[in-house]
Chain A
Amino acid sequence: MHWLKLERRIAIVFVGLVMLMMLLMLLLVQRSGEQIVLAEAQRQLAAGRMSFQILVDQNRRQLELAASVLASDFSFREAIATQDRPTMLSVLNNHGSRIGARVMMAVAPDGRIMANTQQPRQSGAAFPFAALLRAAEDNGHSSDFVRIADGRIYQVVVVPILAPVRIAWIVMGFPVDNAWAHELSQTSGLEVTLVDAASGSLLASSLPESRYSALTQSAVSLRDTPQQVMLNGHHYHSVVVPLGQQARGILLHSVEKSEAVFRKLHQTLLVTAGAGILLFIMGSLWLARRIAGPANTLAMAAQRIAAGDYSLPIAMRSQDEIGQLAASFENMRLGIAAREQKITRLAYEDSLTGLPNRVRIEDRLNSLDSTTEATIVVLDLDRFAAINDALGHPVGDQLLQQVGARLEQQLPPGQMLARLWGDEFAFLLQGMDKPTVQAFAQTLLVALRAPIEVRGQRLDVSASLGIAFRPADGVDINALLQRAELAMYEAKRRQCGFMLAEEVGPGPSPEDLSLIGEMRDALERREFILHYQPKLDLASGRVTGAEALLRWQHPERGLVPPGRFIPFAERTGFIREITPWLLAEVVAQAATWRREGRAMVLSANLSARDLLDPGLVALVRDQIEQHGLPPEALCLEITESALMEDPALAQAHLTELARFGVKLSIDDYGAGQASLAYLKSLPVHELKIDQSFVRSLASAPKDAAIVQSTIALGHALGLAVVAEGIETAADLAWLRNAGCDIGQGYFIARPMAVSAFADWESGKRAATPEPGKVAVAVKV
């Protein structure tokens, strides 16, 4: 809306100025018009007054002339001279009607009326206007406006009748009435009114009758100099003219008449000014639009840019300042667009491999409709950490680049490959059904089988894949990635190449996830504790060792079972932080008990990650040496599956540990795929039969056979055989008979805290006469 304001503002300023000018002009015209009207009115009044007086004088002279003509009529004179009244009256009547004189009189030189047409019978009465006679005597004639006996006003003239000396006066009177006033009004251009000099009462007027009373009221104040007067709202200029002794003439000039001309001029001017202003408004708007329009275009372009739309070029061809501004805008647009492209690339691209990054794949997936099918394939290199540690990060980075390139070669058109982090890659596949995806996973595994050469070193790499389907396994990227990663870990664990998320299950619940989150704090707050489960020498019935089992005393949840958190600790790798603490605890406890006279072998469990940790050997050695514990007093239990993650490295580490003197035990034997040849090559001392076999001893004869043969096998290889999960006396008896060396289980004793274990052990020792050796077990 701002452009509109600008446009309006320009228009308003321009139009305002013009209107002001017009207004001033109109005011000026109005003012000078008023002055001109005033001057014109006064001029017309003066001219009218002059012509009025001339007319009155002319009338008088005509009357006098008429009277003189009559006065010189021989017969009339004869009638006068001979006092012939009937003839006198007749002549007077005759002449009076000839010239329209209403009053005709003959007056004797002594002032007596000889004949009067108005009162034919009267004679001998004194002529009432002696002054007229005197004036006529002095001047030869006289005139005045006088009221005659009938009450009306007349313009009266008196001339002598000479024969040749004066023998009488002739008096002639013309009526002064509205007709008279109208006649004078027409000739003079003024309104003519005659009023009585003494009373001010109106005698005759050319004015409309409706203004009589207003005029009579004002009459007294009127002077013989021009002045203004309002009559019933009508504006007049007035001047008073004395007319003889008894009357005054009031001459009025209607200002409105003069104004009318100017009013017309004014109207014309107003119309012209209005049209001019209208034209100016249109012109100003046009001009303002020409200025504001491009500004508006620029503003909209700027808004588009602000909204992130850089696609439309700003085209403005004008050469003026706006055009230059537009060019600057265009440069800015291009610059911003280029920079944003770069930023977007950086934001969505993995800088190491040039592949899309996690954000990009997230965006792509999130842009999909919630029902759209898609597949997430997570790929993680096996043993990459070891390669990185052994050969250094630069080699690791180059390896990742080459792996990325090789995977990209397998990427079907329209699909997406991203590097999530570290050695983890992810595919986002669309429009591929399950068998196709599985086939694709297989091709990926095959593609990575060929060795990769980095800095002259040929590296054998393999990878594990997890596959999650949308929307069956989840809709949003986090859910899908998590499911795919769980499947990937499982595949890694099973060394089976790839697994589908649906085969692995949904993974940790939200509660699990919060547990995982709390594990780190738990370590710091010392919420992890160790319980010990006795290992019983079946032959002697003595306690020869104990397996340290990790417990989590959660402040709110209470005792958290190991099955709830240890798998997550392993998967997340947090186990590598727990293990050092656990080893230190176990070693310290073993040393303590040894000093107390409880010479037992304490077992600790190692995860696959622990086993592959290059620092493992050093860590174990440090702890043992620190507490001055004989190395053979510590037994490390490793599951068969952990061994199989990287059998070679496991063997290397185990060999080293064995050389140092630590005892080694293979846990959960029978659940994994370890070959007997491999087992044979390992420097272990103990074989722990998987609990599942022990528990079903009584019910499943086949399991009993497996246990029987395993015991035989162990003995054949020179290993002590341990059975876990002994829950009944029958099982215990069977195992003793079968030649199993060491037993462990609820039937013997539950895992116990340190103090409880010490009490239990003391009691057991008291009940068992012969001191024996130590057995070992660790379960985490």
Chain B
Amino acid sequence: MKAFCRTLAALACWAALDAGAANIEVIVKTAGGQPVEDAALILEPASGNVPKLKTHANIEQRDREFVPYLTIVQKGTAVDFPNRDKIKHHVYSFSPAKTFEIKLYAGKPAQPIVFDKTGEIAIGCNIHDWMEAHVLVVDTPWFAKTGANGVAHIANVPAGAYRLRLWHPRQKAEAEIKRIELTNMPQKRMELALDVAPRAAHAKPPADAGY
């Protein structure tokens, strides 16, 4: 069933490409010109017609950190929280979009967490205060997050009108939603600005400190 679904999505994409698709590349920088990592770039089609592409994601706990820091998922995606550390973790979220708690566990929890509501979800570990992860649940399959160089790519976006939303877990102000028209152009480049606060000073102690 899962395989079937995946195939179906791939087919849909393909069809979109056929109808004419665009690649979009955005570089996000702070006002000071520094590239911003982990900024989410979301394209929401004005038509509201969103295909479901991906339905699963992993947020690992590795080396007492959530990896990745930011995960963008389409509404309804099930996310697993596999624990790769030797110690246990207690993953929780009080965010209204998805409140959950996976009490002390090792290995992969039996059930993934399904994010079925759009919104921003901050995830922490109750026993490791510095561990922090964010899940942005969107209702579109076209999204990407910037790397360390502040660049994010979204490929094969069918031409059409979109709302371009930029978000970051530590953004100082909500970015303005841009309306863009994607044509059958091979590449669209954009440069966006977003001010981001530094990560909270919850320093992670060394591993042998017993945390």
Contacts and interface: CB of A to CB of B under 8 A. Distances in A.
Interface of A: 72, 74, 77-78, 80-82, 140, 160, 162-167
B124 A140 contact: no
- Most B CB contacts (10 A, CB to CB) among A72, A74, A82, A160 go to A74
B169 A164 contact: no
A74 B93 CA distance: 11
B1 interface: no
B202 A164 contact: yes
Nearest to B197: A137
A82 to B, nearest CB: 7
B94 A162 contact: no
Contacts of A78: 94
Interface in B89-111: 92-95, 99
Interface stretch (B126-134, B136-144, B152-160): B126-134
Contacts of B131: 164
B72 interface: no
Contact of B200 (A80, A81, A82, A162): A162
A72 B94 CA distance: 13
Contact of B169 (A82, A160, A165): A165
A162 B94 CA distance: 10
Contacts of A72: 129
Given A164-B124, A165-B122, A140 B201 contact: yes
A82 B94 contact: yes
B66 to A, nearest CB: 9
Given A81-B99, A82-B94, A167-B94, A162 B169 contact: no
22 contacts: A72-B129, A74-B92, A74-B126, A77-B94, A81-B94, A82-B94, A82-B99, A140-B201, A162-B124, A162-B129, A163-B92, A163-B93, A163-B94, A163-B122, A163-B124, A164-B123, A164-B130, A164-B131, A164-B132, A164-B200, A164-B202, A166-B200
A424 to B, nearest CB: 148
- Most A CB contacts (10 A, CB to CB) among B126, B131, B202 go to B126
Interface of B: 92-95, 99, 122-126, 129-132, 169, 200-202
Contacts of A163: 92-94, 122, 124
Nearest to A163: B94
Contacts of A166: 200
Given A77-B94, A81-B94, A165 B132 contact: yes
Contacts of A162: 124, 129, 200, 202
Question: Taking chain A's interface residues, is the majority helix, strand, or loop, or is none over half, making it mixed?
Answer: mixed
Contacts of A164: 122-125, 129-132, 200, 202
Nearest to B90: A74
Contacts of A81: 94-95, 99
A649 to B, nearest CB: 168
Contacts of A165: 122, 132, 169, 200
A78 B129 CA distance: 15
Nearest to B131: A164
Given A74-B126, A164-B125, 5 more contacts: A81-B95, A140-B200, A162-B200, A163-B92, A165-B200
- Most A CB contacts (10 A, CB to CB) among B94, B99, B129 go to B94
A80 B94 CA distance: 9
Nearest to B132: A164
A461 to B, nearest CB: 158
A167 B96 CA distance: 12
A402 to B, nearest CB: 151
Contacts of A74: 92, 126
Contacts of A167: 94
- Most B CB contacts (10 A, CB to CB) among A72, A77, A78, A163 go to A163
A152 B122 CA distance: 38
- Most A CB contacts (10 A, CB to CB) among B93, B95, B122, B123 go to B122
The 3 closest A-B pairs by CB, nearest first: A81-B94, A164-B124, A164-B132
Contacts of B126: 74
Contacts of A82: 94, 99
A557 B131 CA distance: 165
Contacts of B125: 164
B90 to A, nearest CB: 8
- Most A CB contacts (10 A, CB to CB) among B131, B200, B201, B202 go to B200
B100 to A, nearest CB: 12
Contacts of B169: 165
A74 B169 CA distance: 22
A114 to B, nearest CB: 14
A79 to B, nearest CB: 10
A77 B92 CA distance: 11
Nearest to A79: B94
Contacts of B130: 164
B135 to A, nearest CB: 12
A162 B169 CA distance: 14
A364 to B, nearest CB: 134
A77 B124 CA distance: 12
B96 to A, nearest CB: 8
A169 to B, nearest CB: 14
A166 B200 CA distance: 9
A163 B100 CA distance: 12
A37 B195 CA distance: 59
A164 B130 CA distance: 8
Nearest to A81: B94
Contacts of A140: 200-201
A166 B95 CA distance: 11
Contacts of B129: 72, 162, 164
Contacts of B123: 164
A160 B122 CA distance: 15
Nearest to A166: B200
A165 B131 CA distance: 10
A165 B132 CA distance: 8
A78 B101 CA distance: 11
Nearest to A167: B94
Contacts of B99: 81-82
A293 to B, nearest CB: 93
A152 B22 CA distance: 66
B19 to A, nearest CB: 40
Nearest to B126: A74
A226 B200 CA distance: 41
A163 B133 CA distance: 10
B97 to A, nearest CB: 12
B78 to A, nearest CB: 22
- Most B CB contacts (10 A, CB to CB) among A78, A81, A160, A165 go to A165
A77 B132 CA distance: 15
B123 to A, nearest CB: 7
Nearest to A82: B94
Contacts of B132: 164-165
Nearest to A160: B200
Contacts of B124: 162-164
A413 B123 CA distance: 156
A427 B46 CA distance: 183
A163 B98 CA distance: 13
